[in-house]
Structure 1
Amino acid sequence: MSAIKYVQDGPPPGGYPAVRFSRSLPSAGPSARTLFAVATVLMGWGFYKVGQTNKYRRSLLFEKKESRAAIVPYLQAEEDLRAVAAVSHKVHH
């Protein structure tokens, strides 16, 4: 067997360049304060709109109840006429 000569690699003359290990990540979007402020404003606006819709629906319900209450006397009069007609029909037969 012949003698095999191994050569080990070493650093280059003057050494290796310095390794940069500091974090330099780009900004990942708005800050937490900005997100919280935007979410608060949007939720406030949403609650306002829900309140406005509830007021509108309440006014429609009130109008519906008032219109029904307005026709109750007419419906009662028709029912009274029907009852009188039924009684008078039974009496004559």
Structure 2
Amino acid sequence: MLKIALDGNELRKHRDEIEAYFNIYVGPLAEEFSSLRFKLKEVRENTRETLFHAELRTEPYVGKPMAVETRSNQATSAIEICFARARRTILREQRIAALS
């Protein structure tokens, strides 16, 4: 159900980490989404610093689409932070929907 897009060969080694963090944070909530797309790319801010940009886009069966993005100087941190933020956002949206 999760579609993964990795920018460059170097980032392909993070596929297992992406799947693990997805299963930890978002996996139990995934049945509510028709589409989940995760993208990880390397962004050079200047010649000395490399940042990793992680993005998760969701298309729920009911409700509005969501996008969560984060940047970090470590790929693993960007992956985990992105999925953790996505989980919090999904749960917040569920609570709001339940109250209305």
The answer to whether the superposition gives a TM-score over 0.5 is: no
Higher helix share: 1
| TM-score w.r.t. length of structure 2 | 0.28
| TM-score w.r.t. length of structure 1 | 0.30
